[in-house]
A and B are shown apart, each in its own frame.
Chain A
Amino acid sequence: MRPFGYERAESAVAAARRAADTGATFIGGGTNLVDLMKLGVMTPERLVDVSRLPNRDIADADDGGLAIGAAATNTALANDPRVRERFRVLSLALLSGATPQIRNKATVGGNLLQRTRCPYFYEVGLPCNKRAPGSGCGARFGRSRDAAVLGTSEHCIAAHPSDMAVAMVALDARLGVRGGDGDLRWLDVDALHRLPGDRPDREHDLAPGDLIETVRLPPPPPGRHVYTKVRDRASYAFALVSVAVVLAVEDGVVTSARVALGGVAPKPWRARAVEAALTGARATWRAFCAAAEAELAPARGHGDNDFKIPLARRAIAGTLAEAAGIAPEVPTGGRRATP
């Protein structure tokens, strides 16, 4: 690992200012950053430790939602009784991810900004436009099993790996971002990550020094929460495809649908085509399949990951069926995340 300067910030304002002034990188739990530093994929000169900032509480918000300090651990968030009961899809997503040890250390802010697991990004000897702009995308014509099928560009097909962020997108979370100037501004979680386009190295819209300080969940949408994660093995593999659903059905008609996907896109993917197709529609297996079909219509595989397109369709329809309490008409495959 390269040598680095290290300091611990006393407050969010001080951390943001310090990082803006010195170009330092934040370290939360370090579970992603330390690994990438060891491999030489990330090479920060200085670190500002934000894992022990006071913003680690989880508290009721005035509007009936929840205010989550970005330094809260993944374990604390997953096990919070309010999250387990009212924002259940978030708890399910968190507990489906990583290992107990990693969740004990990983923070909410770090989870949102964890980097892709694309093997070309991880291996400094290989081409990767995200890590080394202009070097090419190795995955497009190479090993693409983990890569995205939606929202990609000719410059990058890497998928975003987070489970937590998928649930947060479905729940319309908003991020409180502390800038280097000390001001706090608000950003929809769906607007945090960018699509790769011709700048896959620019993954999000935060400026240097911008610290994710809090996450606000508005009051939960009505309906049943289900998180499905399809992966190569039952314990701590990243999602090939994941689906977060909060679905309300009254008298056989969908009254509210929140759906987001993981493993299939360069960012946590809000499945707006599914939501649009279902809201006001009858909750039938056929409708769920048609909605999934609409979402995946623009999808494009790259060889190794072609299987993700039919897999995502089945996972979406199966998860909706589970939330609606109706029987799917084909086996959906995959393993349900259980609490």
Chain B
Amino acid sequence: MSDAEARAERLAVTFTVNGVEKTVETLPMKRLLDVLREDLALTGTKEGCGEGECGACSVFVDGRLVNSCLIPALQVEGSRVDTIEGLARGGELHAVQRAFLEAGGAQCGICTPGMVLAAVDVLRKHPNPTDEQVREGLAGNLCRCTGYMKIFDSVMTAALAIASRDGEGAA
């Protein structure tokens, strides 16, 4: 820790993470990404570029998909933060997670948590998305491995799975 950091005042920030309220004492310059990974041990959220370009650090804050690497932790006071760890329910993977496994949407996995959350965001807005809507919705997420086609397939696979599940539920 540098001198300046040692002198800096720690401040408390309280927010809800995946439905559970947490209070963290943090240095004012810490990013939400650091607090999630270091203070809350939620290491599913990844750091790729740290500059807003790659989307590996994507999380939902109050329902909006954002880059946690560009958010001072203090800015989320009172907010609802949802990370990749909160997606599976009761040991059941989310349909998007299953689709990424089935359609080969993940290779090394660094982009995957952010990519999956971006896909969830696309499907919330467009349950029956066009190719264009998928591409636009994932435009903030880079992948070095897959070449994207299998990721686009995964999103479409998930859309079908959700539609048929919801159809069954309604029947």
Contact = CB atoms under 8 A, between A and B. Distances in A.
Interface of A: 1-6, 8, 27, 29-31, 34-35, 37-38, 47, 49, 51, 73, 75, 98-102, 104-105, 235-236
Given A30-B71, A49-B75, A101 B11 contact: no
Interface string B1-23: 00011011101000000000000
A91 to B, nearest CB: 14
Nearest to A235: B139
Contacts of A30: 70-72, 75
19 contacts: A3-B7, A3-B8, A3-B27, A3-B28, A3-B29, A27-B72, A29-B70, A34-B69, A35-B51, A37-B29, A49-B74, A73-B64, A75-B64, A98-B52, A100-B118, A100-B121, A101-B140, A104-B64, A105-B66
A171 to B, nearest CB: 24
Interface of B: 4-5, 7-9, 11, 27-29, 31, 50-53, 55, 58, 64-67, 69-72, 74-75, 77, 118, 121, 136-137, 139-141
B116 to A, nearest CB: 14
Given A3-B5, A5-B28, A51-B75, A102 B67 contact: yes
Nearest to B50: A38
B171 to A, nearest CB: 34
Nearest to B58: A101
Contacts of B72: 6, 27, 30, 34, 47
A293 to B, nearest CB: 35
A88 B65 CA distance: 24
Nearest to B139: A235
Nearest to A76: B64
A168 B117 CA distance: 32
B55 A101 contact: yes
A34 B31 contact: yes
A236 B8 CA distance: 36
Nearest to B30: A1
Given A6-B28, A101-B52, A101-B67, A236 B77 contact: no
Top 5 closest A-B pairs, CB basis?
A99-B140, A3-B8, A1-B29, A104-B64, A101-B140
Given A34-B72, A47-B72, 8 more contacts: A2-B4, A3-B4, A6-B28, A29-B70, A99-B141, A101-B55, A104-B66, A236-B139
Contacts of B118: 100-101
A101 B65 contact: yes
A298 B74 CA distance: 47
B119 to A, nearest CB: 12
B124 to A, nearest CB: 12
Contacts of B50: 38
Contacts of A236: 53, 139-140
Contacts of B137: 100
Contacts of A29: 70
B140 A8 contact: no
A192 B136 CA distance: 32
B71 A34 contact: yes
A4 B70 contact: no
A105 B140 CA distance: 13
A1 B65 CA distance: 24
A101 to B, nearest CB: 4
Contact of A105 (B7, B28, B70): B70
